[in-house]
Structure 1
Amino acid sequence: MSLDPHLAYARRMDRADGLAHYRKRFHGTDAPLVYFDGNSLGRPPIAAIERMQRFMEHDWGGRLIRGWDESWLQLPLEIGDRIGRAVIEAKAGQTVIGDSTTVLLYKLARAAVDAQLARHPERREIVIDTDNFPTDRYVLEGIARERGLTVRWIEVDTTLGVTSQQLRAAVGRHTALVVLSHVAYRSAYLADAPELTRIAHDAGALILWDLCHSAGSVPVRADAWEFDLAVGCTYKYLNGGPGSPAFAYVRDDLQRALAQPIQGWFGAADQFAMGPRYEPVPGIRRFLSGTSPILAMLPMDETLAMIEEAGIAAVRAKSVALTTFAIELADDWLAPLGVTLASPVDPAERGGHVTLHHDAMREVTARLWQRDVIPDYRDPGGLRIGLAPLSTSFEEVHRGLDATREVLRQVIAERAGLG
């Protein structure tokens, strides 16, 4: 029997893949399990596992509290600068590792609207789309209640995202802040960040970008695109681990203008003076609050080293090739079963994941997990396939979608009473 041409293609692509050797640096990639959820939680780098063991025995266990004086106080800034350098193209002093994504979104959004209100009391609207990630929407609604503001919603197609025409129609002289995702969590729609940033600025608004689904997968040029603010998580393509802390970007000329609302001793000018009043330290450190989660920020450093070595352009090129291959397999194998693509076809408009729609996908996902094929599910009827370029192979994509075809056929047959 002749070899499946799709499988032959996958094996050729793996042999030619200049990033293939990175796959061996991740724990578990030698097992038959298919991992399609790298856009929710990345695999652990082997070096990170080893580093954590060393850190606990020698840095924490050996140095104890002396570690703060020697290096730990600077880690949020050092790793932040590394993210700026390798992932979002931001010069030093503008990116810091801080709290969870939700807390950093609150800090930056609240600081932005407060600064706008102080200068322009008429700017009482926050613009966000109806399909943005729940945390973003919930945080903005809460800030609007706190400050007596209005949320202006952009209705979007859930298979796409916010377009320039939609944003242009939504912003105006009352807009204080725009909050958008660079890559939509549901569809993977890749927003035109420089154009949308220009539109917000032309209206006199500040813009805060959610980079959670693009950081480490899609090139970002925060400085060149004139971002004001950005937040991104580190447990997806940066492989920081469950609940690893997020990063915040604040453009350098805005840092003194923004008063972050959760004042804590790690953002104080003289941290150990323990003085009676809070005075913020100059620079990006002022956006820190409490004690930095040192253990939780260490693993991502290993992936950042890989991205620096490989280059984000090469990472993006493989990401496009992986998602394109997944779409081709879905067209050939799943479309005849009624599956439709809920992500952009054009790779220039698509981030690092692909969403496939069928009303049976919730059940399909549950059954795939039982077979060690791990995608995730998003309503309505979306099987989401997150393909991490450093740790995913083309043959893995083939195996996973072959299993998806088999399981979907079973579910359809059972629903028809033929199983």
Structure 2
Amino acid sequence: MFHLPEGVIYLDGNSLGPLPKATPEKVGSMLTQEWGDMLITGWNKADWMGQPARIGDRIGKLIGAPAGYVVMGDTLSIKVYQAVASALELNQSRKVVLSDNGNFPTDLYMVDGLLKSLNNGHELRLADPENVEAELSEEIAVLMLTEVDYRTGRKHDMKTITEKAHALGIIVIWDLAHSAGAVEVDLTACDADFAVGCTYKYLNGGPGAPAFIYVAPKHQNNIRPALSGWMGHASPFAFDLDYQAGAGIERMRVGTPPVIALTALEASLDIWDMVSMADVRAKSIQLCDLFISEVEARCPNLELASPRDGNNRGSQVSFKFEHAYAGMQALIANGVIGDFRAPNSMRFGFTPLYIDEDDVVGAATILERVINEKLWDNPQYQTRSRVT
């Protein structure tokens, strides 16, 4: 059900998911039959206006959120900003935002920029990932973590950490960029306050696909949206000059919905409707375990950077190698696509929707040749591109 080039083993769905075969037709139909034939009436006739909430509910099924608590739109960076800004207002007497130094840098950039704009004595504090729980205290306003570390795949215990944070009066935000479609997530059972995530990785929404935000029921009508966009207004087409926040999750909408991109995402979600996250997760652990076993047997020069226990790991495996960038470029040239993460990691993602045991063994076999025959030691693989 996915378009995968002949002769390629694709182990980078944790960075960009492949194209579902149904996407071109679905998007083409939207372009011609909706945009083409309906023109501007498509906002009502095709319900483009309701698309962000409708698709948000479909994402919600994959992350343990009930209908009405997830909405789509904008980028993950924007959704991080929204969540942190709203969370800080819920805990105004405190000034510390805690995260870990394994968090994806853009999350930290967005928080740092927000706190500088507030200019009210706030502090962004970073802990080592394994020390987050020890750093929790009553001076912390907001805890913001990415559940699965983008570099190593190390997985935080969402439920335990959230419970401990709440016991100290801390508002908790989870970034699910490497979780949604990769691991089982139950935001309701974990009592998360906010969650954000992207859809171009495991969810196969396409490059630049829109992000999502979840707000817990207890907060939805209490939060003030820091980005008061017209789509989050209670009555956007009243064109009122004074902002009145919409009801519930609708207030977290900002700009005009990216209808074409959301339509592409819908094609992928049709596939996700056919599977259970429990089955996907179980198969993912099996594939990752097999890859670790195969690579360690074949490539003794590589050092495992990911947790060995699959329960503590997302759906990715990273190996450290002194010449990791060149090694990955050589691997890609030989038909296995993964990616490089600074300073020295070769990273591989495993999605059971289109990866099986034969792919895993085949990738390890090619990696063995690249490393042991030093195929990476070629000048053409040394020059770094803008995207690694």
TM-score, normalization: structure 2? 0.94
For structure 1, which runs of at least 5 residues remain unmatched after alignment? 1-24, 156-161
- Maintained 8 Å contact 1:360/1:408: no
1:58-207 equivalences under 5 Å are 58-70=33-45, 71-85=47-61, 87-117=62-92, 121=93, 123-147=94-118, 148-155=121-128, 162-163=129-130, 166-207=131-172
Give the whole-Å Cα distance in 2 for the aligned partners of 1:34 and 1:331. 19
Give the whole-Å Cα distance in 2 for the aligned partners of 1:142 and 1:214. 25
Equivalent residue, structure 1, for 2:12: 37
Which residue identity does 2:100 align to in structure 1?
D
CA deviation string 1:118-148 (max 9, x = no partner): xxx2x10000111110111111111222223
Determine if the alignment matches structure 1 residue 366 to structure 2 residue 329.
yes
Determine if the alignment matches structure 1 residue 256 to structure 2 residue 227.
no
Equivalent residue, structure 2, for 1:5: none
SS of corresponding position for 2:308:
coil
Identify which of 173, 176, 189 aligns with 1:224: 189
CA deviation string 1:85-121 (max 9, x = no partner): 2x1011111101021000100011111112211xxx2
Question: Identical aligned pairs, as a percentage?
Answer: 35
How many residue pairs match? The answer is: 375
Q: Identify the range of structure 1 (237-246 vs 143-152) with the bigger mean alpha-carbon deviation.
A: 143-152
Give the whole-Å Cα distance in 2 for the aligned partners of 1:317 and 1:300. 24
Give the whole-Å Cα distance in 1 for the aligned partners of 2:10 and 2:298. 19
SS of corresponding position for 1:362:
helix
Identify which of 201, 210, 214 aligns with 2:175: 210
SS of corresponding position for 1:106:
helix
- Report how far residue 413 of structure 1 moved: 9.3
Q: What is the RMSD computed on CA atoms of the aligned residues?
A: 1.4
TM-score, normalization: structure 1? 0.87
CA deviation string 1:151-198 (max 9, x = no partner): 11102xxxxxx34xx233212121110011111101101111000101
1:272-287 equivalences under 5 Å are 272-287=237-252
Q: Identify the range of structure 1 (99-108 vs 398-407) with the bigger mean alpha-carbon deviation.
A: 398-407
Determine if the alignment matches structure 1 residue 244 to structure 2 residue 209.
yes
Residues 371, 75 of structure 1: alpha-carbon distance in 2 compared, 3 angstrom cutoff: same
For structure 2, which runs of at least 5 residues remain unmatched after alignment? 379-388
Segments ≥4 residues shifted beyond 6 Å: none
CA deviation string 1:51-106 (max 9, x = no partner): 01111111111111111012101010000011112x10111111010210001000
- Maintained 8 Å contact 2:70/2:249: yes
SS of corresponding position for 1:364:
helix
SS of corresponding position for 1:208:
strand
1:9-20 equivalences under 5 Å are none
Determine if the alignment matches structure 1 residue 297 to structure 2 residue 271.
no
Identify which of 244, 253, 269 aligns with 1:288: 253
Equivalent residue, structure 1, for 2:236: 271
SS of corresponding position for 2:64:
coil
